[in-house]
Amino acid sequence: MSRIDDTTHRIQSGWLAKEIIVNSFWFLAFAGISALIGSFPRSTDFQPEDVFGLWIIERLPGLFIGLFLFFPLYLLLRKMNYHYSLEDKFLVVEQGIFAKQKRHIPYASLQNVLLMRTFLDTLFGFVTVSIENASGVAGGMMPARSWYWRDRGRHSYLINVMLARMMGIFGNRVSIPGLSARDAVQFRDALLEKFQESRRPDVSGL
């Protein structure tokens, strides 16, 4: 099997551009809504405890504008510092812009592999590989081979939409978004093969 990592199966630049555009739209929309709310006439009859709330409302547009300007750089740095590879015995994942986090996940502890995509991902051909780790939990792996809208048993629609837009390690889950459909299927199949190999009895010492 050829090597699979973040250089051979990489997050597509188009996915980054899509996330920047979508999130920038929402930041600007919320900035406009906040500015509109802040422009409403205010009553002069308010209590001292209302001052802090008014202070927040007045600064919300600036906050969302700041997020609009900062988010593209943050997402780019996060992607540049996000690495993953399938090694002999572990799925190795590393992330972090300033505080680094590296995790070695034994293949035998994998519980679930999901291929997911949002509506926009479907249009542009991007797929997210979501991997659940269940170290120390008995039982096998549940390879979810259907797209998220066909898999309603364990994950709700809303949760899957959120997961399909995440990148990184979240608790016992690893999310690798923005892969091409071909790379995502190859990644999943390679994980399943590694999992099956890890469950075979070791007869080398016999």
> So what's the pLDDT on residue 149?
36
The CATH number that domain 83-199 falls under is 2.30.29
Output DSSP code: residue 10: P
Residue type, 149: W
Q: Quick one: pLDDT at residue 200? A: 76
- Count CB-CB contacts under 10 A for residue 6: 15
The per-residue pLDDT for 158 is 58
Q: Which of 91, 93, 72, 69 is nearest to 81 (CA)?
A: 93
pLDDT at 56: 61
pLDDT of 128 reads: 92
What does the DSSP assignment read for 144-201? E-S-GGG--SSS-HHHHHHHTT--EEETTEEEEEEEEHHHHHHHHHHHHHHHHHHHS-
Radius of gyration of the chain (CA): 22
pTM: 0.73
Q: In whole angstroms, give the CA distance from residue 136 to residue 148.
A: 26
Interatomic CA distance for residues 87 and 191, integer angstroms: 10
Place of tokens 């600036």: 62
Tokens (6 digits) for 38: 């802040």
d(CA 12, CA 10): 6
pLDDT along the chain (206 residues), means of 10: 88 90 82 70 53 58 76 89 93 91 91 87 91 57 37 51 73 90 94 87 59
| Confidence at residue 175, expressed as pLDDT on a 0 to 100 scale | 92
Residue 1, helix vs strand vs coil: coil
Q: How far is CA 16 from the centre of its chain?
A: 12
What's the order of all strands across the beta sheet hosting 83-86? 83-86, 90-95, 101-106
